[in-house]
Amino acid sequence: MEQRLPTAYTDYAGAGLEAAQRQRVLRNTYWLLALSMVPTVLGAWLGVATGITRAMGPGMSAIVFLVGAFGLMFAIEKTKNSAAGVPILLGFTFFMGLMLSRLVGVVLGMNNGAGLIMTAFTGTGVIFLGMATMSTLIKRDLSAMGKFLFVGVIMLLVAGIANIFLQSSALMITLSVLAIGIFSAFIIYDLKRVRDGEETNYITATLAIYLDLYNIFQALLSILGIFGNNNR
């Protein structure tokens, strides 16, 4: 009994430290996620004000987006454990806001465009709160779900590139609805990875959840924009 008490105490202390570490990663993720919205808004405002993405055209804009996004994500992965990780992540979110400005500009040109943007923003927030709450209630391991969600994202990406040339509103609505479902599930998956201690780097965690929210907002805004345009 005397030999087992120290072991039990050590295990208990270790579990407490591990739980504290998980909470610290989660807290830092939320703070950095909130901060990342600032350069996103600035990037979107600059893009709308200058019209830089609108001048590139859909095809060139898609190429710049893919090269820039994947290049910056690679840089984030390489610097996630250094002091440069946070500035590069914020630079990435500025770039993503800039690339979002094309869609934002189109919606702003519609009747009640500002209202549609606020509706998409509010809807994204509601979805995030709902999925974040679910991530605290679900106790089962969701590791296997990540593979299926990744396949879904690849299919969305391929179909989205195809629709640049097809310009089908029906396909855009379908892809947007699917994107909302897939990336809502990704929020649960990504937050669960942090809560379960599978993701211990808050920069990587922030990047994953930011992309979830970005894609949900973009999908909601696309749907609202299509229906808003049809009602004019």
pLDDT tens sequence across 188-230: 999 999 988 899 999 999 999 999 999 999 999 999 988 866 5
Asked if the model's pLDDT at residue 74 lies above 80, the reply is yes
| pTM listed for this prediction | 0.88
pLDDT tens sequence across 51-64: 888 877 777 888 89
CA 49, distance to chain mean position in Å, is 24
Residue environment code for 188-222, b if the CB has 16+ CB neighbours within 10 A, otherwise e:
bbbbbbbbeeebebbbbbbbbbbbbbbbbbbbbbb
Give the residue from 26, 8, 77, 29 showing the smallest Cα distance to 197: 26
Determine the Cα–Cα distance for residues 222 and 193; give it in Å rounded to an integer: 29
Positive or negative, the CA dihedral 176, 177, 180, 186 is negative
